[in-house]
Amino acid sequence: MKWLKSVRYLLCLTLFTSLIGGALAVNGGQVAEAAANEYKFDFGAGAVENGYTGVSATDAYTTAKGYGFNTPANMRNVTASGTGVASDAVQFVTFGTKSTNTFNVDLSNGLYEVKVVLGNTARSSVAAEGVYHIINMTGNGATDQFQIPVTDGQLNLLVTEGKEGTAFTLSALEIRKISNQTVTNRTIYIGGDSTVCNYYPLGSSVQGGWGQLFPSYVNTSTFQVRNMASSGQFARGFRDDGQMEAILKYIKPGDYFILQLGINDTNAKNNTTEAEFKEIMRDMVRQAKNKGATVILSTPQGRATDFNSANVHTAENRWYNASTRALAQEESVKLVELNKLSSAYFTSIGPAATLTLYMTGDTLHPNRDGAAQLARIVASDLRRQGLDGF
């Protein structure tokens, strides 16, 4: 029976070698790390961090490797000021959400969590599958993550604007399969402007938008939060320039869509009358409702200095608020009166304490503490209105 034992030994050794070989990360244009459906890429021409697959700007996609750049001629190796994986990067010389200048990774269909680490950049966004996924990451080495369903066997990702004229760079990418289902978990999508958007580093920024701090008040075992707000945004821009497109690609029954705009719509440079604002907002409300999502409109908070002589904070007539209130009633959607609710809170703490919740010398933009208070107020009101997840 010695021959049988030898056969068993060879079979076990072959199986073991195959499993180990599939789990190891190797460099020099060979197969990427794929242990337990996890992939880790370190971009640039420098040293490759342990556990990562190194990818240079010159690495073209091949089916044999299962990863690489679609058009490496439009990529460039660059340095970066961070450490570890953030010490170097690749730059996307051509870009845009519809660009074919993507980094491609072959993946089995399912739901993935994707973590990105940018290189040196002033303001960049991340796009995949032709739409935005992260809006306006700022500062060198900025880090964020998102969920994405893969339905065609491949992830196609690039770093894009952001802000024209800046370098769109990527230092590292981590991909982890979290489900065989090809739909996102229940999601709260948020649209808005600089009082709502994310600031980086996400965990320690001085300035904050209430959408950035919102996950602290959400049951994250029920929902993920996708904050698609951006600084300076107004209703027409949010609808027409890619943010609403990204939401509509993935939003589904069971999801929430919270939309708060109006501050920048009242700015003359954006050329939006109140009647136009209302109809653009109505269009977005109806598109999200048609996808089966629960739509929630919110009125923006006022300025820190909106106190009258009796030290009562009031800003009800700012930011086209009347049209937002009317639209919520006309379209039978939920309304968070953040304007009134925040005014009541500011009145309760007084003018001096209210100023401490805003950026120094800035009466419009909340700091991190102020954003947390606004997020708390929004979540509390949604819970009061009977929505789950808070």
pLDDT confidence bin for 390, thresholds 50/70/90: very high
Q: Say what the pTM is.
A: 0.90
250-290 confidence digits (pLDDT tens): 999 999 999 999 999 999 999 999 999 999 999 999 999 99
285-327 confidence digits (pLDDT tens): 999 999 999 999 999 999 999 999 999 999 999 999 999 999 9
Residue 1 has pLDDT above 50, yes or no: no
- Cα-Cα-Cα-Cα dihedral sign, residues 246, 194, 322, 336: positive
Q: Helix 274-290 to helix 243-250 angle, to the nearest 10 degrees?
A: 20
Give pLDDT, residue 321: 97
* Closest by Cα among 168, 156, 98 to 130: 98
Give pLDDT, residue 73: 98
Domains and CATH numbers, the chain: 25-179 (2.60.120.430), 187-384 (3.40.50.1110)
Active site members: 194, 362, 365
* Closest by Cα among 135, 207, 229 to 365: 207
